[in-house]
Amino acid sequence: MTLARTDHPQRSPAAFRAAPRSGTRHRRARHRKSRLTAWAFALPLVIYLAAFYVYPLYRNLDLSLRRYTVRSFVEGDAPFAGWANFDQVLHDPTFGPAIRNTLVFTLVSIAVQYGAGLALAVFFNRRFHLSGLLRALFLVPWLLPLIVSSSTWAWMLNSESGVVNHALHLVGVSPVDWLGSPHWALTSVIIANIWIGIPFNLVILYSGLQNIPADLYEAAALDGAGAWQQFRRLTFPLLRPVTMVVLLLGFVYTLKVFDLIWIMTKGGPGDSSSTLATWSYRLGFGSLLPQFGPGAAVGNVLIVIALAFGLLYTHVQRRQEA
């Protein structure tokens, strides 16, 4: 947050101010030179973005509009296919489950992450002994490589020897076939994903809470508002901008999740935990007979959804800053 506030540069370029000496022609030349300098510094990035963002995305679009085989993939002479790949994907029996699973995975994950993150942020907002250290430790799940957390959860949820089923056994619940049954696979990956996402929500919401002036709470307490009243009438409304940011970013980030599901269930059994991301990967890379075209088509559907919410996010951000 401290970084965020410094960024409102409405000033004229520094070079301008530093050149008080001569007439307009001189100044104009200087101005042009400073503009050139500016682009010289930004140019590597622009070239990089063109080569390593725009071009791969273009290739992906191209993939989704042609009929590719492994051979034509290498030689690059695949025939144009129009919307055929999209059409195929749309009528694929996996399409329905993938869309549904993506929505359930994303919405349930961000709802629970947000709820838990908010509760924890409120909890950590009162300073107590060790609070800084404990808050730091809460970041651990978010920093671990995804393959580490996914394989740990996979073993914890193992139906025979997993510690989760053991804990359920202790409270008298019969063992659940977490990763092997189509009823539970999606729930399993959601649980693991929630665990990974809580720290992000906690950190951002905590920084949002820190920006609410303490005297507001003092005033509310003087007016006789209890803890719940203070939360409902003060904290929650004042956190609304931060909430929007967390939820929208959470949506975009959760939509992308691939590693976790692929490592834990590969989207299975059947399609029971397939999302758009894992399905796209499975089409393109998951078998010996890759279907690059349809895989890319699914990827492009994913991009469109991500960008829609991404633009909504930038819109919200801009409104908040204005």
Partner 1 sequence: MTGRRRGIRVTAIGIVLTALMLFPVYWMINVSLTPQQDMRKNPPDLLPLHPTFEGYQAVLHDQLPYLLTSLLIGLGTVALTLVLAAPAGYALAKLRPRGGGALGLALLIAQMIPGIVMAMGFYGIFLNLGLMNTWWGLIVADSTIAVPFGVLIFRAFMSGIPDELLAAARIDGAGAFRAFWSIVLPVSRNALVTVSLFSFLWAWSDFVFANTLDAGGDLRPITLGIYRYIGNNNQEWNAIMATAVVASVPAALLLVLAQRYVAAGVTAGAVKD
Give, as ranges, the residues between 260 and 289 that touch partner 1 (CB under 8 A): 263, 277, 280-281, 284-285
HSE-CB for 264 with a 13 A CA cutoff:
33
Q: Confirm or reject binding of residue 46 to partner 1 (CB under 8 A).
A: yes
C-alpha 198/C-alpha 207 separation (Å) is 14
Amino acid code (one letter) for 21? R
268, 283 Cβ separation under 8 angstroms: no
Distances (CA, A) of 253 to 185, 270, 306: 21, 25, 8
Looking at 15-23, 85-93, 215-223, 230-238, which segment touches partner 1 (CB under 8 A)?
A: 15-23
Phi, psi of 66 (to 5 degrees): -125, 165
C-alpha 98/C-alpha 94 separation (Å) is 6
Q: Confirm or reject binding of residue 80 to partner 1 (CB under 8 A).
A: no
> Which of 41, 80, 213, 223 touches partner 1 (CB under 8 A)?
41
> Which of 28, 53, 77, 107 touches partner 1 (CB under 8 A)?
53
Q: Of the two residues 111 and 137, which places its CB atom closer to partner 1 in the complex?
A: 137
C-alpha 239/C-alpha 117 separation (Å) is 13
Q: Confirm or reject binding of residue 307 to partner 1 (CB under 8 A).
A: yes
> Which of 52, 96, 183, 233 touches partner 1 (CB under 8 A)?
52
> Which of 100, 256, 268, 269 touches partner 1 (CB under 8 A)?
256
CB of residue 111 to partner 1, shortest distance in Å? 18
C-alpha 153/C-alpha 194 separation (Å) is 12
In the stretch 121-160, what mask flags binding to partner 1 with x, by CB under 8 A? Answer: --xx-x-xxxx--x-xxxxxxxxxxxxxx-xxxxxx---x
Q: Of the two residues 186 and 202, which places its CB atom closer to partner 1 in the complex?
A: 202
Q: Of the two residues 1 and 233, which places its CB atom closer to partner 1 in the complex?
A: 1
182, 269 Cβ separation under 8 angstroms: yes
Q: Confirm or reject binding of residue 26 to partner 1 (CB under 8 A).
A: no
Which residues within the stretch 91-110 sit at the binding site for partner 1 (CB under 8 A)?
A: none
Amino acid code (one letter) for 167? A
Q: Confirm or reject binding of residue 29 to partner 1 (CB under 8 A).
A: no
Q: Of the two residues 147 and 216, which places its CB atom closer to partner 1 in the complex?
A: 147
Instruction: For residue 154, give every residue at least 6 positions away whose Cβ sits within 8 Å of its Cβ, in sequence order, or none.
Output: 179, 263, 264
Count Cβ neighbours within 10 Å for each residue of 148-159 and write b for 16 or more, e otherwise. Answer: ebbeebbebbbe
Q: How many residues bind partner 1 (CB under 8 A)?
A: 110
Q: Confirm or reject binding of residue 120 to partner 1 (CB under 8 A).
A: yes
CB of residue 68 to partner 1, shortest distance in Å? 9
C-alpha 195/C-alpha 161 separation (Å) is 21
Which residues within the stretch 194-253 sit at the binding site for partner 1 (CB under 8 A)?
A: 195, 198-200, 203-204, 207, 242, 245-246, 249, 252
- State the DSSP H helix or E strand holding residue 126, giving kind and residue range, or none if neither: none
Q: Confirm or reject binding of residue 21 to partner 1 (CB under 8 A).
A: no
Looking at 80-88, 92-100, 192-200, 219-227, which segment touches partner 1 (CB under 8 A)?
A: 192-200
